[in-house]
Structure 1
Amino acid sequence: MQSHTRILLRCMLAGTLSFAGFSLFAQDLKSNLPTDPNLLTGKFANGLTYYVRPNQKPEKKVELRLVVKAGSILEDNDQQGLAHFMEHMNFNGTKNFQKNELVNYLQSIGVEFGADLNAYTAFDQTVYILPIPTDKPGNLEKGFQIIEDWAHNALLTDKDIDDERGVVLEESRLGKGADDRMLKKYFPKYAAGTKYAERLPIGKDTILKTFKYENIRRFYNDWYRPDLQAVAVVGDIDTATAMKLIREHFATLKNPKGEKTRTYITAAARTKSDAMVVTDKEATSSDLQIMFSHTKKMEEKTVGDYRSNIVRALALQMLNRRFSDLSQSSNPPFLYAGAGFDDLIHGYESFVVNAGFGADGPDNAMKAVTAELIRAKKFGFTESELELTKKEMMSGMDKLYNERKTTNSGSYINEYTRNFLDNEPVPGIENEYQYYKNLLPGIQLSEVSKQPAQWMQNVNTFTLITAPEKADQKLPNDAALLAMTQAGLSQTVTAKAEEKVATSLMTTIPQPGKVVGTVKEEGLDATTYTLSNGIKVTIKPTDFKSDEIIMRGVKQGGTGQYGVADKQNAAFITDIIEEMGIGDFSPTDLEKILAGKTVSINSDMSDIEDILSGGSSIKDFESLMQLTYLYIMHPRKDEALYNAFKDKQKQQLQFLSANPKVAFADTMIKTLYDNNPLAKIAIPTIQDIDKVNLDRALDIYKAEFGSADGYHFFIVGNVDAEKIIPLLETYLGSIPVQKKTTAYKDNGVRPIAGEHTLKFKKGTEKQSLIVTQYYGEIPYSDDLALKAQALSEVLNIKVVEDLREKLGAIYGGGFNASVSRLPYQRYSVGMQLPCGPENVDKLIAAANDEIKELKEKGPDQKDLDKVKATWHEQHRTALKENKYWMGSLESILFWGKDKNTILQYDSRVDKLTPADIQQTAQKLFNGKNQFTAILYPEG
């Protein structure tokens, strides 16, 4: 029985009082959720909805969205795929931006096509994404003109439509393969009884090739109209300016006469259970899904609705933790498992559980997954599980609240998009934080434990297996899978026992070292401290994020030091550590100990360095330091978990080579490096896993990570150096020294010299992939590295203009280039072009023409100016990001890069000339070393 004191305390925490049977709290639960006071939202007379929120993160940038409540579900039979095609057409000719003028203009102000400027089409919506830099006059007005044109000014000329058919068909081609073939078999049954079953957004190739021009114009006229549209504006702009521009561009838009009614599909509850097993020769994994019946989604309108969603989230998180614990156990019944809600059908949701299994079949996975469902349904959860999950959820809300003044505009505008499309409430983080503080403590175990039964009220399920089509795969038929599901959901289980959770990571605090040296890093606003054991720590305090501290510890070393006998041991050891845990704690133990904390860390090895990277909130920085200490000093050996890791890896890798692109990449890399046994493992195999020796791998880990020698740590974020120095002295300064030299090694691995072509045939779809590498050794310089990057970006502009828009032969693809100093001085330029096999020769010739043009004439000044504008914009944003400074500090203070490459970046970019790019093209495309690999379908 609870004491009156505890009940009163809980009421006080929840902000409630009871008097004479009248509950103020109950009244509060019935009150409507407010709208974020920082958000201005409303509707014009024409029905168009608007959202405006000023936000200064990042500075001098405004995020614009045009959201349309129209997607593939609204297509007529002769329009299948045209909702998505319409999205393409809005980038290919509007009233104020003819043909490719839109992309050209946006590139000229630093907006990158595909990365920044983008759009997507789904069943029920189309969303256009446009970030606009506001550092120059006129940009913002142009941005609003663009989204207005998207809303009602698409030209849709016959020629523009025909020019875009090839691009859309190439996008369709990219999506084909095993997953797509299996989807088309099971999706009609999953969505049976609804139009969704026959309206996948990509549409039908036959229609995309031949549809009449009028069909897409009809779709645009019917559904792109103000009463189905929203405009969202978030960023470095004042509300008055935003509203003035919204009114000018959207308030006078008119809805078409005789407009069609926008209705939503209704989904009937499933009346019987069903099951389906779908296989494909090119599938690479075996997956089991149990999908419960669609139910009407609850609209979140009141504080009580908000509380109900917290209750559901608690239960779902606890169920998923049980799945996670099983997958990380010493005898896992599945590779992974998880539960959630599928809201594919607008206004409805379906409780779905999925699990991955291996070649031994789905029996164990099915029994384990359904056992946990029944256990949760019958017995609910435990008090310890609830308290653990409450801590986690409150910690997440704490971070969101603490970051409220440094939240990126993109997060807000995505929330407003969901509000328009799905009625997701937007009470604002200040209100949500108070709801969590007030409501979370009062949520009882009994009400959380009722949740699973509600999710599974309708016992009629659709069970699906997708798997490789292999003779040795142990798979049931449809009837047997249905029986297996019903048996699983009928089994007898026992309640989960309460578990004790350790309360601290470390019981013994190590003897601290001391700071023995301090150096101010001029121009970098950072300070490097040297500890008594030789470890260096560079700290850069920032205010970019209110509650973020990131850390990276590096030392020279890496996998390149190890020969053939240790290749696999070095390659997999950091993954193995993640699976076995640290100190006295398994991975599942660690998750529970760290519940309620915002902290993470992991180890990694590149070919030249050993890395410990992580981060935390301000309050959890000591936990980050303790984890770092344990990763260095106390890696955990657990043979049972190691064997489980090996088994899971083998099961995941067993069918990987069935994927044509994976098999192609494996053969290509082996050929490129002439089967050198020291070449890095790109595509792991079962044989690689079998070659790992746990004891030897642990020896390598301890040799690389286990002493103070050579470490340099970088800490960036909202950090007070004076406050954390004692923690650095305790947890880093106490690490012992072995007095050994740390260094990387050039193991001599080089790609083959000369010109080579590999033609590789695999796969049934008419898909090809061209991969070309140009490479060689060259003296490194920072200037050459910058020019090489500019060269690849200029080429990417030509890829979009010529290979995509003019030829219509690709959807995506392009060039990348790098000049590297370590472990040896070299350059590499890579090109990837996914396409149809009929276009391989044409695209290679076109790419060669672009390269030849650059070598002979250099780039157009306007193209180089586009690259400069994009880089200036990216750099301006990056200067306010902790991750950027983390990487920059490491490259300068650890690897010896000139700090002026960062401090004088803009001036270095401005100095680039077309002649620089031409000379770089002549250096890098010198005809000496070129490797081209082409994937063709079989036959």
Structure 2
Amino acid sequence: MSRKTLISTFIAVAMATTALTPLSMVYAAEPAAAVRTIDPTKGVDFAHNHSDIKPDPTARFGKLPNGMTYVIMKNATPPATASLRLRINAGSMMESDQQLGLAHFLEHMAFNGSKNVPEGEMIKILQRHGLEFGPDTNAYTNFDETVYQLDLPKVAEDDIDTGIFLLREAAGNLLLDAKAVDAERGVILGEERARNSPGLNNYKKWTAAAFPGQKYASRLPIGTPEIISGAPRDAFVDFYTAFYRPEQATLVAVGDFDVDAIEAKIKAKFSDWQPATPGALRQTDFGAYKTKGVVVDTYSEKGLRDGMTVTWAKPYADTYQTYGSAADDFADMIRASILNERFERQAKLPESAFAAAGIGVDDMKYTAKVTQLAVTPKPGQAKAAFEQAYTLLRQYELYGATQPELDRVLADLDAGFKAAAQGAATRNTRDLADAIAGSVHQGQVFTSPQQDYDFYLKLKPKMTLDLVNAGIKPLFAGDGPIIWRSAETLGDFDKAAITASYEAVRSVQLTAAEAHATKPWPYTEFGIPSAIVKREEVADLGVVQLTYANGVKATIKSTKFKDDEIGITIRFAGGLDSLSPAARPPIFQASAHGLSEGGLGQLTAAEIKDSLTGRIYGIDFDLGEDATTLRGGTTREDFALQMQVLMAFTTDSAYRADAWERLKAFVPNYYTSLASTPGGVFQMNAERVLHSGDSRFGIPSQDEFLATTNDQVKSLIDTQLKTQPIEITIVGDVTEEQAKAQIAATFATLKPRTATPEPKDSDTVKFPASNLNQVFEHGGRPDQGLTYFAFPTGDFFSDTRRARGLEILADVLSLRLTDEVREKKALAYSPNASSTASNAFTGYGYVSIAAEVKPEDSQPFAEALKTIVTDIKANPIGEDELLRARKPVLDRLENQWKTNGYWSQVLPGTMSDPRRLEAIRTRREQVTGLTAADLQTLAVTYLDLDKMLTIQIKPAEKAQ
């Protein structure tokens, strides 16, 4: 996990159950259409065929005579790419008691042999077409659907034909050979083992209490080890023939292609698909929702985070989306958003007993419609946290929202819908394919961003305070609530205490919430700008570089990759390489702080949010190896504001102590969960081991984190932001003149800063040369483990061709690991290799190999790796293998050049270090020029088994 995302990860995990289901669109409240229930006996159909809503006119919807539906849409972002999705309307809830996990197992078998593709060849075919397994070739199974995903980096006719052909094979031509099934069992068991955690066990217990007698409570997609290990081939065939039928399938194709030609290809390839067993579709009894009344229950397990949920539920109705239902859902989203803003504001107060809280409103398909409150208490304050959060909810339920609260939410929604409409012409192809498949899944109408915005503008006047408040009580009027507490230890807040607190809050007399005033945004004027003293064009990269008299440098790249999207990076020279490890700087803690949580000198974090309601901006902070960065993303309309925000945090960050204390409230939960899994323990220890104990790397102990003071964090970050030289990078839909105007109004007004300081200890970061076998313990299941190997290499800039070669060599290792460790030996679900080369520390880099394996399989994994390494060093890599490793890299690079995100990543620092520009220019040439002999030489040079570092994460009782 990167340090910059830690605080957001804390909150995201704490709030995982509160996320609102995304709406595909919102509509004006027109005369209500008749609600049409989805008829499962007739297979899949499009919602707009049963609704008063019109679909996106740029998408082509069709149905073959055999019942298979398809959606085709032309889209050219990035150009010359395409995304294909095959959605099967069946998931784990459709399984019988003898098939638990087989819906997901079948997803794996789609890559293991079909009528026209030999076992083991499908992935290789895709790799030859530039698709990497995982990022470009994937699939997922959930409770009620299975989706196959192909993202094609090219749209040559052969690439499209191959993609459609392979999806046709998955749809109806799988062999399900018994030997192939047996070979894959170990892989699935490895996935089950890797995913198991205390949090998952808690979820199983909660679903059993919330939905007894319903399929959702007993149908986790991963299934059970017993059935994964022993289900006969007939059980697979039964599920496949019952649900992989054209009537249950939807093919989605989005890309830079001719729609007519793609439609003809789909018809030619899928029209002959007929059910293996003709007749009526198999129907599933999902179980009826059972009324339970108020339920209080708990679950405790070592390694489990401390948290609470309160859930109200209503029976589920499976209907198509209409104007009326969309308007109702939109109003509920507004109601939830207002309450969540109250929770967020309360959580940031020093007296708050909860670190995070929020509600979500969701349809759990075939199961229930739920409203759920989730609460993360501060350490030792579970009782007070529950009472405070539930009191806030009750206050909202009784007295409703205020007009200023409603106005703020509507302003934010207005800005979001408007920005989406302005960027509609350059929506991302992959995202569109997923959105279309998702709309079919949810029974929603797929609409354009402009339709969404138009309907929102019609609906907005109808969203009065009276209408919003009238619908608040129904959110919490379902069956229940189910009050659930989970933690390592319950302490004195057990069932009886929870029940008493619940009843006490319900009986107390409450008053309406107090209103608060919104302060104006004060950071608009910063002074007189210094002049531009140098302007250079980097013509081959489409870049302009400016130097100001005060020393600020700026790189501007104007693009049309994405309409109305601008990304800004403020780079402060000097990151980890400017800090001495002897001082034990609190780098991880400072990065976790997030900066924005501490607010500004003139505004708290909550006041900033209020002041900038309806505006689009961002603030992201990171401490890297050779620089500290602030980043933001915005639109043309809010470009000036975004620059003001970045300037304000550069010059006037407040570091309020209450924000630091709130962050520390998440820390015990974070460390508790890390210690309970092999991956978490690896995360805690590996970085420091890989850097020979250097204190600048890795995660500190919990005690060390909690002992860190706000002043220490402030000192570290302020030194970076207020003293280090600045380089600005602006990429996106912006002209040079617009960029210069906003730089002049902000960073050009700063006083001159000193030249980049000589880095401290830049050559002292070393890969371990001794104690090369490290073992750590985790507190999870006794059959869980992780084994990691690393070979020392070198830094990036001393030899960029070598660094690129090591990346391709790592990709070859990944291919071999997948074939040998996953497919042949079934030791691990996802073995992988990668190459790391430092930009800042001279001579530092490594190639790593990792897999989550059972403790007893650590040695077989090591032996398999040694065999692979020995073979690569002794024998040249085959041309086909080189092609399958290199082509995805080259195709991805070609597409990356057409995105703002890529340029925002590679351009920062190019003025301070011109080697970075040359690295951009030479990447394709260097990767293309690599030969099998080059990779063999690199393997011989760097894959030295005598220098290999081994890190093993074993269960406590097995660690030796």
Letter matched to residue 210 of structure 2: Y
1:889 aligned onto 2:910: no
Letter matched to residue 631 of structure 1: F
Q: Write the mapping of 1:43-122 to structure 2, written as runs, cut at 5 A.
A: 43-122=63-142
1:919 aligned onto 2:932: no
Q: Which moved more, 1:102-111 or 1:412-421?
A: 412-421
SS state of the match for residue 386, structure 2? helix
Q: Write the mapping of 1:713-732 to structure 2, written as runs, cut at 5 A.
A: 713-732=728-747
Contact preservation (8 Å) 1:568, 1:689: no
Letter matched to residue 447 of structure 1: L
SS state of the match for residue 636, structure 1? coil
Q: 1:670, CA displacement in angstroms?
A: 5.0
Whole-Å Cα distance in 2 between the matches of residues 422 and 691 of structure 1? 47
Equivalent residue pairs, number? 910
Q: 1:825, CA displacement in angstroms?
A: 2.1
Contact preservation (8 Å) 1:513, 1:730: no
Q: 1:819, CA displacement in angstroms?
A: 2.8
Structure 2 counterpart of 1:702: 718
1:159 aligned onto 2:179: yes
**Structure-2 change in CA distance of 1:240 and 1:690 (3 Å):** same
Whole-Å Cα distance in 1 between the matches of residues 29 and 373 of structure 2? 35
Structure 1 counterpart of 2:37: none
Structure 2 counterpart of 1:735: 750
Letter matched to residue 233 of structure 1: A
Q: 1:85, CA displacement in angstroms?
A: 0.8
Structure 2 counterpart of 1:21: none
In structure 1, stretches of 5+ residues that fail to align are 1-15, 17-23
Structure 2 counterpart of 1:626: 644
Structure 1 counterpart of 2:159: 139
Q: 1:410, CA displacement in angstroms?
A: 1.9
Q: Write the mapping of 1:29-40 to structure 2, written as runs, cut at 5 A.
A: 32-40=52-60
SS state of the match for residue 847, structure 1? helix
Structure 1 counterpart of 2:787: 770
Q: Which moved more, 1:554-563 or 1:834-843?
A: 554-563
Contact preservation (8 Å) 1:358, 1:652: no
Structure 2 counterpart of 1:488: 505
Deviations 1:5-60 (A, max 9, x none): xxxxxxxxxxx9xxxxxxx9855989811111111113223221111111111222
Deviations 1:438-480 (A, max 9, x none): 22134201111122211111352111112114xxx53533343
Whole-Å Cα distance in 1 between the matches of residues 530 and 512 of structure 2? 49
**TM-score computed with the length of structure 1 as normaliser:** 0.92
**TM-score computed with the length of structure 2 as normaliser:** 0.91
Contact preservation (8 Å) 1:810, 1:833: yes
Structure 1 counterpart of 2:584: 567
Q: 1:431, CA displacement in angstroms?
A: 1.3
Deviations 1:464-512 (A, max 9, x none): 112114xxx5353334333433433443322122221123242644223
Contact preservation (8 Å) 1:710, 1:742: no
Q: 1:673, CA displacement in angstroms?
A: 5.0
Contact preservation (8 Å) 1:367, 1:488: yes
SS state of the match for residue 98, structure 2? helix
Whole-Å Cα distance in 1 between the matches of residues 159 and 558 of structure 2? 33
1:248 to 257, 268, 280: 268
1:380 aligned onto 2:381: no
Q: 1:298, CA displacement in angstroms?
A: 7.7
Structure 2 counterpart of 1:7: none
Deviations 1:577-635 (A, max 9, x none): 33211131111111111211110123322232121211211110111111122112111
Deviations 1:202-245 (A, max 9, x none): 11111111111111111111111111111111111222112111
Whole-Å Cα distance in 2 between the matches of residues 463 and 928 of structure 1? 56
Deviations 1:820-847 (A, max 9, x none): 3422222211111111122211111011
Whole-Å Cα distance in 2 between the matches of residues 868 and 784 of structure 1? 15
Deviations 1:116-174 (A, max 9, x none): 11111111111111123444342211211111111110001111111111111111111
Q: Write the mapping of 1:722-801 to structure 2, written as runs, cut at 5 A.
A: 722-739=737-754, 741-746=756-761, 748-754=764-770, 756-763=772-779, 764-775=781-792, 780-801=798-819
1:204 aligned onto 2:229: no
Q: Write the mapping of 1:524-543 to structure 2, written as runs, cut at 5 A.
A: 524-543=541-560
**Structure-2 change in CA distance of 1:503 and 1:821 (3 Å):** closer
1:126 to 146, 165, 186: 146
Letter matched to residue 215 of structure 2: K
Q: Write the mapping of 1:162-201 to structure 2, written as runs, cut at 5 A.
A: 162-201=182-221
1:257 aligned onto 2:274: no
Q: Which moved more, 1:473-482 or 1:609-618?
A: 473-482
Structure 1 counterpart of 2:412: 392
Structure 2 counterpart of 1:8: none
Contact preservation (8 Å) 1:812, 1:833: yes
Q: Write the mapping of 1:392-411 to structure 2, written as runs, cut at 5 A.
A: 392-411=412-431
Q: 1:433, CA displacement in angstroms?
A: 1.2
**Structure-2 change in CA distance of 1:123 and 1:829 (3 Å):** same
Deviations 1:712-761 (A, max 9, x none): 11100000221232221121111122445434322634343146212334
Structure 2 counterpart of 1:282: 303
Whole-Å Cα distance in 1 between the matches of residues 720 and 810 of structure 2? 36
Whole-Å Cα distance in 1 between the matches of residues 387 and 793 of structure 2? 55
Contact preservation (8 Å) 1:112, 1:870: yes
**Structure-2 change in CA distance of 1:765 and 1:491 (3 Å):** farther
1:812 aligned onto 2:830: yes
Structure 2 counterpart of 1:639: 657
Q: Write the mapping of 1:11-22 to structure 2, written as runs, cut at 5 A.
A: none
Identity %: 23
Deviations 1:735-789 (A, max 9, x none): 1224454343226343431462123343333011101121155782110010010
SS state of the match for residue 838, structure 1? helix
**Structure-2 change in CA distance of 1:697 and 1:737 (3 Å):** farther
Whole-Å Cα distance in 1 between the matches of residues 929 and 577 of structure 2? 37
Contact preservation (8 Å) 1:535, 1:712: yes
Q: Write the mapping of 1:298-317 to structure 2, written as runs, cut at 5 A.
A: 299=319, 301-317=321-337
1:691 to 708, 721, 736: 708
Letter matched to residue 842 of structure 1: P
Q: 1:565, CA displacement in angstroms?
A: 7.2
**Structure-2 change in CA distance of 1:513 and 1:195 (3 Å):** same
In structure 2, stretches of 5+ residues that fail to align are 1-26, 35-50
Letter matched to residue 191 of structure 1: F
Contact preservation (8 Å) 2:410, 2:460: yes
**Structure-2 change in CA distance of 1:844 and 1:558 (3 Å):** same
Q: Which moved more, 1:787-796 or 1:501-510?
A: 501-510
Structure 2 counterpart of 1:232: 252
Q: Which moved more, 1:332-341 or 1:217-226?
A: 332-341
Whole-Å Cα distance in 2 between the matches of residues 595 and 552 of structure 1? 23
**Structure-2 change in CA distance of 1:338 and 1:733 (3 Å):** same
SS state of the match for residue 340, structure 1? strand
Letter matched to residue 67 of structure 1: R
